[in-house]
């Protein structure tokens, strides 16, 4: 029996994906695969074996690579200061694939926060298109947007992440106020364990350190099993050791398949990501990949 | 449903997080509701007591009082300030059995406050000048000794019948019969003691001293009567008797137009409705005052909720970020103001009940809290919560999530 490795299958899929992107028809892609001798290999393996190999190795790879979780085109955001019009974003075009860990960098006033808010459906662009998880979301009503935020997006802010006078557990459960999920409490406890705060579960915000507060925020962001986690300067108020802890938590979450988009202005924080997008004056000035997805 | 339960729990938590402020906020509602409950319960108590007393009078007793208009529900009657228009002549006219076959017995009444001298001390007392039929008409009767007979009345004797409490006030434990009391410098011999009579917050006949009508007319120097009590032969004759009495007295008073009568003939039902009219007027007046305090309380709620919305702007932003819809925020703040007023209302019911009980210790009225007034209090306080909570809740729900998160 042929030994077909994960890498072999990956390269096949990359090939298919790139061909599709470059506008080749499915028929011509199949023709070229035949020429390369791949069809014989796959047929010889048998359909069920292929499926087994895929489910064993490549479940995440498949969904992560075939689909853009975020696709924005020509997004502009303008503000009016009295008569004067100022642009926060000038025609941004950006695709983020499932499973990526992206940082958005830029000096203050570069539009990175505005972009973040638009990505998180907290704000709407003045013009342009935004496809989130394959769905156009620009024209959604405010309650439909709230639903997307609730179920598909997890937020971690720089500050005021926790409800005052509320325990860690109830903070993590907050999103379930607006959408009932079965066995919410068990899930919350499981997530709190993942962020290593099980012993603080019944503590309130004022009994926690800055790093612990951010861990609670991450746990809450994970509660609804979102498509993406948006983190706005999540380490902005933390010392370097604690920051490292939060960043490794993000990495761990990302390795489990959750897309993470993080806004920061600190280079050493940004370097933990797989991809760095730099903004200046409302435009993308560089887009650099550090690690494969 | 699940969402509502969670929001309820969260609202209760935020109310208890600010205990002092929540208490002060509720104070207006507590004062308003407790005064409504106390007033209504005492009003109910007064009504019940008066109804019972009037029904004790018996259905066949008519009372003629000075001043017209009582029986037509014109309130306090015309010219209540002028001196009594009822005379001894009116009494004599009504006593004529042949002219008024529907009347069984008649008693005049002259009521005056006086001072009894007993040894060295003086006792304030209410003196009732009455006819010989008085105790019979009231259906009370004599406990010991004798009542007045026609001879004592006609010969203007200085004799007295005492109420049970008056006996204790004046003579303590010793036997009053045959003893004398000094009233307006005249000596009166005690000939009888009246049976215990029902008392109320307006009068306690057991504290009174009764003397012949004629004698009281002499010692107080009055010829006019405060009232004439009339006993009718049977219930079916009440309307006829009323008409007869009216006709006879109009002739006596030289009044042609019945509507200008300077007296009123009241059946127990008339008395009841006159009293209810007065108590109703009083309690609606007091309820209006209480209503004002509820409105003030409501404004207090609105104020505090507006402050809470400003204080919790970031929380609202955070909630919106994790998926709260506009309507979710609206409902959350409405629940909070509703709970504040509802707690206030419940506390008000408890306090109002307590106030009613406390007041009843002093004025001898049993407060009656009906289920209706509790429902009304709960309904009114929740209504205030929703109405005055609406503006802050709408303000909160319309906050833009980014502005809310960035609020400093």
Could you give the angle at the alpha carbon of B108 between the alpha carbons of B106 and B113, nearest 5°?
A: 150
| B75 φψ region: left (φ > 0), alpha (ψ -120 to 50), beta (else) | left
Report the candidate in B34, B38, B11 with the shortest Cα–Cα distance to residue B363.
B38
pTM of the model: 0.69
pLDDT at res. B200: 61
User: Are the Cβ atoms of A122 and B402 closer than 8 angstroms?
Assistant: yes
pLDDT surpassing 50 at residue B45: yes
pLDDT-derived band at B203, boundaries 50, 70, 90: low
Nearest C-alpha of chain B: how many angstroms from A163? 6
Q: What is the pLDDT of residue B73?
A: 47
pLDDT tens readout for residues B377-402 = 899 999 999 999 999 999 999 998 88
Contact by Cβ (8 Å): A121, A153: yes
Q: How far apart are CA B362 and CA B377, in angstroms?
A: 25
The pLDDT, as a whole number, for residue B111 is 87
Least confident of B18-32, B106-120, B208-222: B106-120
Q: Which residues pair with B105 in a beta bridge?
A: B231
Distance, CA of B156 to chain centre:
38
Domains, chain A, in order of start with CATH, read 6-66 (no CATH), 99-125+142-289 (3.40.50.300)
Q: In chain B, how long is the greatest CA-to-CA distance?
A: 100
CB contact under 8 A, B402 and A123: yes
The runs of H, that is alpha helices, within B96-237 are: 134-138, 150-154, 164-171, 213-220
Average of per-residue pLDDT across B74-90? 61
The Cα B149–Cα B179 span in angstroms is 19
Q: Which of B19, B313, B321 to mutate to test the interface with A (most CBs of A within 10 A)?
A: B321
Of A123, A150, A165, the CB nearest to B322: A150
pLDDT of B48 higher than 50: yes
The pLDDT of residue B372 is 86
Q: List the beta bridge partners of residue A76.
A: A127
Predicted local distance difference test score (pLDDT) of residue B330: 96
A278 vs B57, more confident: A278
CA distances from B66 to A54, B90, B253, B314, B341 (A): 108, 12, 12, 73, 49
Which residues in chain B touch residue A163, judged by CB atoms under 8 angstroms apart?
A: 315, 318
- Over the stretch B298-327, which tens digit does the pLDDT of each residue have? 999 999 999 999 999 999 999 999 999 999
Give me the total of CB pairs closer than 8 Å, taking one residue from chain A and one from chain B: 70
Q: What confidence tens digit (pLDDT) does each residue in A97-139 have?
A: 999 999 999 988 899 989 999 999 999 899 999 999 888 898 8
Q: Give the gap in angstroms from C-alpha A40 to the nearest C-alpha of chain B.
A: 50
Cβ–Cβ below 8 Å for B10 and A177: yes
pLDDT exceeds cutoff 60 at B201: no
Residues contacting residue B332 through CB under 8 Å, at least 6 positions apart: B7, B10, B11, B319, B324, B393, B396
Q: Give chain B's length.
A: 408
Extract the residue ranges of chain A whose pLDDT is less than 50: 1-2, 57-66
pLDDT of residue A62: 46
Q: Do A165 and B326 touch (CB under 8 A)?
A: no
* CB spacing of A177 vs B3 below 8 angstroms: yes
DSSP string, B66-115: ESS-GGGT-SS-S-TTSPP-EEHHHHHHHH-TTT-TTEEEEEEEEEEEEE
How does residue B75 score in pLDDT terms, banded at 50, 70 and 90? very low
A166 interaction partners in chain B (CB closer than 8 Å)? 13
Whole-number pLDDT of residue B260: 83
Angle between the N-to-C axes of helices B313-321 and A142-152, in degrees from 0 to 180, rounded to the nearest 10: 70
Q: Residues B212-225: what's their mean pLDDT?
A: 88
Q: What are the chain A neighbours of B328 within 8 Å (beta carbons)?
A: 146, 177-178
- φ, ψ for residue B188, nearest 5 deg: -120, 135
| pLDDT value of position A64 | 45
Residue with tokens 């960035």: B406
**Strand pairing of B159-162 and B224-225?**
unpaired
pLDDT band at B363 (very low <50, low <70, confident <90, very high): confident
Contact (CB, 8 A) for B1 and B322 = no
Residues of A in CB contact (< 8 Å) with B are: 117, 120, 122-123, 142-143, 146-147, 149-151, 155, 157, 160-161, 163-166, 174-180, 220, 224
The separation between CA A142 and the C-alpha centre of its own chain, rounded to angstroms, equals: 22
Q: Which residue among B315, B328, B401 sits closest to A178, beta carbon to beta carbon?
A: B328
Picking from A127-141, B152-166, B269-283, which range would have the lowest pLDDT averaged per residue? B269-283
Compute the nearest-CA separation of A181 from chain B (Å): 10
State the Cα angle at B335 between B333 and B337, rounded to 5°: 70
Q: What's the pLDDT at B291?
A: 83
Nearest CB to B13; choose among A151, A165, A174: A165
Q: Residue B403: beta bridge partners?
A: none
- Chain mean pLDDT for chain B: 86
- Give the integer Cα–Cα distance in Å for B52 and B58: 10
- Angstrom distance (rounded) from CA A129 to CA A28: 31
pLDDT at residue number A176: 93
| Preferred mutation among A140, A178, A216 to probe B, highest tally of B CBs within 10 A | A178
Q: Which helix (H) or strand (E) holds B362?
A: helix B326-363
């Amino acid at each position: 029996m042929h030994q077909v490795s994960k890498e072999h299958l990956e390269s096949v899929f990359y090939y298919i994906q790139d061909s599709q992107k470059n506008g080749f028809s499915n028929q011509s892609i199949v023709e070229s695969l035949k020429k390369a001798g791949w069809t014989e290999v796959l047929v010889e393996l048998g359909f069920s074996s292929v499926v087994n190999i895929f489910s064993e190795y490549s479940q995440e790879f498949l969904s992560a690579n075939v689909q853009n979780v975020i696709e924005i085109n020509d997004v502009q955001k303008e503000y009016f200061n009295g008569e004067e019009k100022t642009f926060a974003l000038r025609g941004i075009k950006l695709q983020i694939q499932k499973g990526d860990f992206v940082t958005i960098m830029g000096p203050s006033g570069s539009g990175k926060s505005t972009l973040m808010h638009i990505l998180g459906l907290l704000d709407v662009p003045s013009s342009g298109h935004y496809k989130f998880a394959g769905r156009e979301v620009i024209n959604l009503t405010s309650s439909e947007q709230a639903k997307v935020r609730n179920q598909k997006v997890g937020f971690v802010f720089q500050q005021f992440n926790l409800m005052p006078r509320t325990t860690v557990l109830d903070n993590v459960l907050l999103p379930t106020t607006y959408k009932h999920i079965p066995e919410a409490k068990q899930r919350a406890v499981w997530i709190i364990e993942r962020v290593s705060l099980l012993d603080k579960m019944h503590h309130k915000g004022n009994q926690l350190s800055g790093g612990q507060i951010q861990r609670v925020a991450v746990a809450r962001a994970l509660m609804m099993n979102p498509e993406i986690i948006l983190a706005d300067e999540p380490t902005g108020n933390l010392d370097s050791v604690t920051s490292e802890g939060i960043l490794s938590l993000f990495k761990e979450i990302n390795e489990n398949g959750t897309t993470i988009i993080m806004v920061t202005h600190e280079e050493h924080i940004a370097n933990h990501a797989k991809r760095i997008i730099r903004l200046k004056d409302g435009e993308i000035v560089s887009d650099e990949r550090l690690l494969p997805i | 449903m699940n969402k509502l339960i969670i929001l309820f729990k969260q609202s209760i938590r935020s109310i208890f997080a600010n205990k002092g402020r929540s208490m002060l906020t509720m104070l207006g509602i507590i004062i308003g509701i407790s005064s409504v409950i106390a007033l209504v319960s005492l009003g109910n108590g007064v009504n019940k007591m008066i109804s019972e007393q009037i029904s004790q009078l018996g259905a066949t007793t008519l009372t003629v009082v000075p001043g017209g208009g009582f029986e037509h529900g014109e309130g306090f009657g015309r010219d209540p300030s002028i001196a009594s228009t009822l005379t001894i002549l009116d009494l004599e006219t009504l006593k004529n059995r042949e002219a008024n076959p529907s009347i069984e017995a008649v008693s005049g009444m002259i009521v005056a406050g006086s001072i009894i001298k007993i040894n060295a001390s003086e006792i304030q007392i209410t003196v009732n000048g009455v006819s010989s039929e008085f105790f019979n008409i009231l259906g009370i009767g004599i406990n010991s000794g004798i009542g007045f007979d026609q001879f004592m009345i006609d010969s203007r004797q200085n004799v007295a019948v005492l109420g049970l409490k008056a006996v204790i006030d004046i003579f303590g434990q010793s036997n009053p019969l045959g003893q004398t009391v000094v009233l307006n410098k005249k000596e009166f011999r005690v000939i009888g003691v009246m049976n215990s009579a029902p008392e109320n917050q307006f009068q306690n006949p057991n504290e009174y001293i009764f003397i012949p009508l004629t004698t009281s007319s002499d010692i107080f120097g009055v010829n006019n009567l405060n009232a004439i009590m009339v006993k009718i032969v049977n219930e079916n004759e009440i309307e006829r008797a009323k008409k007869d009495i009216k006709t006879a007295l109009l002739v006596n008073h030289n009044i042609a137009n019945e509507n200008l009568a300077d007296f009123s003939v009241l059946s127990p039902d008339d008395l009841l409705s006159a009293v209810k009219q007065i108590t109703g007027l009083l309690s609606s007046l007091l309820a209006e005052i209480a209503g004002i305090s509820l409105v003030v309380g409501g404004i207090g709620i609105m104020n505090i909720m507006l402050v809470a919305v400003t204080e919790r702007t970031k929380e609202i932003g955070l909630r919106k970020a994790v998926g709260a819809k506009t309507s979710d925020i609206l409902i959350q703040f409405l629940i909070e103001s509703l709970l504040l007023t509802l707690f206030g209302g419940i506390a008000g019911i408890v306090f109002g009940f307590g106030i009613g009980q406390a007041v009843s210790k002093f004025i001898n009225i049993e407060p009656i809290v009906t289920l209706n007034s509790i429902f009304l209090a709960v309904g009114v306080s929740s209504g205030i919560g929703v109405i005055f909570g609406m503006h802050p809740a709408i303000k909160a729900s319309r906050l833009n999530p980014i502005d809310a998160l960035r609020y400093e």
